[in-house]
Amino acid sequence: MDNKVRDNLLVSSSPHIVTGVDTQKTMAAVLLALAPSFLVSIYVFGARVILLTLVCMAASMFFEWAWNRLMHKEQTVMDLSAALTGVLIAFNVPSNLPLWIAILGCFVAIVVVKQLYGGIGKNLVNPAITARVVLFISFATQMTTWPLPLTPSNADVTTGATPLGVLAEGGAELPSNMQCFLGVIGGSMGEVSAIALIIGGIFLIYKKIISPIIPACFIGTVFVFALVYYSIAGVPEVAGDMSVLGMAIFHIMAGGVMLGAFFMATDYVTSPLLPRGKVIFGIGCGLITMIIRLFGAYPEGVSFSILLMNIMTPLIDNYALKMEIKKQAKKGGAK
């Protein structure tokens, strides 16, 4: 105890405490939510999954670190956003993709899409989705050579069409909805298991990391669109004796809908802020996905739909903000 006066105290504006959840912890939570799908992918596609994921994560973090270093910017690699982008790139490509192509994708995502636009928080479109689209167009063969699940009968990885590929082009038997639900199907590395992605998504919603609005509107739109379409057009021959309802369930579980709806479309930076905007965004993603799947040249449309809606986001945000101002003005009148 002393009687010394302390007169050089720190003065700052309130509040003087903050939550422990910062950007790094937020990104870490999303990484954790991807873990169930990661484990299923290892089971389905083998050890290459681990290698591909680690390489993408390391490459993305390296590009982020190197860019900040070269540009004399504050180092942001530890906020884990680049790590998350890397993991999402790995999840969005076939597990047998040559590593150099995957690394090129990481370069596109981190340097071209993210850093050239100003780094975290400033990018217009989702880096991982854009990288996938760039690779898909540039390396059409490698990006559509889908490994099939490891099963006792084919111990060596063989390749074949994805469920959506079968639906669009035929040539094989459509897998059952249970196979899609569990994930023993062909497809991008991390998108195959609907149940694993749903578990991760529910974790993020429970932890209030993401709002359920975008996933609900996205998945709901795909489901309703498929119901209506197959009611009118009838169930195609390749689907065998699947019902219309079965086809709608098939559409939400096959391809990238679950991964896209829970983990890609909910990217804060490139999706609308206000609930009203999120509804428009989610429905838009669902509509574009189904239009491409059913009427487009490609069997799958999730990444194109999210990319297009990313570009729409500033417009949607602007509209939602104006509606919010109008609503509040009508409600209270007070400013």
Partner 1 sequence: MSQKHLNSVKTGHFKNTAGCATEIMPIPDVVKISMSQHIGAPCKPLVAKGDYVTVGQLIGDTDAFVSAPIHSSVSGTVTAIEEQRSASGGRDTLVVIETDKKQEPCADVKPPQAEDLAGFVKAIRESGLVGLGGASFPTHIKFNPKNLDEVKTLIVNAAECEPFITSDHRLMLEDAEDLIAGMELVMKYIGLDHGYIGIEENKPDAIAHLDQLIAEKGLADKMETFTLQARYPKGAERVLVYEITGKTMNAGVLPADLGIILSNVTTIAFVGKYFRTGMPLVEKRVTIDGDAVARPTNVIAPLGTMIGDIINFCGGYKEEPKKILMGGPMMGRAIYSDAMPLVKNNNAILAFSSKQAYIPEETACINCGRCHSVCPFNLIPTALADAYDAKDAQKLSDLRVMQCMECGSCSYICPARRPLAFINKLGKGVVKEAGIK
User: What are the residues binding partner 1 (CB under 8 A)?
Assistant: 1-3, 5-19, 21-23, 25-26, 76, 79, 81, 119-122, 208, 211, 268-269, 271, 273-274, 321, 324-325, 328-329, 332, 334-335
Q: Give the separation between CA 63 and CA 75, rounded to whole angstroms.
A: 12
C-beta closer to partner 1: residue 11 or 297: 11
C-beta closer to partner 1: residue 81 or 289: 81
Q: Give the separation between CA 160 and CA 172, rounded to whole angstroms.
A: 9
C-beta closer to partner 1: residue 118 or 240: 118
C-beta closer to partner 1: residue 216 or 274: 274
Residue 217 CB, shortest distance to partner 1, in Å, is: 16
Residue 269 CB, shortest distance to partner 1, in Å, is: 5
Residue 184 CB, shortest distance to partner 1, in Å, is: 35
Residue 2 CB, shortest distance to partner 1, in Å, is: 7
Residue 43 CB, shortest distance to partner 1, in Å, is: 33
Q: How many residues appear in the chain?
A: 335
Q: Are 328 and 288 in contact (CB under 8 A)?
A: no
C-beta closer to partner 1: residue 79 or 191: 79
Q: Which of 38, 35, 69 minimizes the C-alpha distance to 51?
A: 38
Q: Give the separation between CA 283 and CA 217, rounded to whole angstroms.
A: 5
Angle subtended by helix axes 244-253 and 213-233, to nearest 10: 140
C-beta closer to partner 1: residue 24 or 144: 24
C-beta closer to partner 1: residue 137 or 331: 331
Task: Count other C-beta atoms under 10 Å from residue 202's C-beta.
Answer: 14
Residue 209 CB, shortest distance to partner 1, in Å, is: 8
C-beta closer to partner 1: residue 69 or 327: 327
Q: Give the separation between CA 227 and CA 258, rounded to whole angstroms.
A: 18
Residue 216 CB, shortest distance to partner 1, in Å, is: 16
Residue 114 CB, shortest distance to partner 1, in Å, is: 11
Q: Are 193 and 255 in contact (CB under 8 A)?
A: no
Residue 123 CB, shortest distance to partner 1, in Å, is: 10
Q: Are 86 and 59 in contact (CB under 8 A)?
A: yes
Q: Are 59 and 72 in contact (CB under 8 A)?
A: no
C-beta closer to partner 1: residue 201 or 301: 201
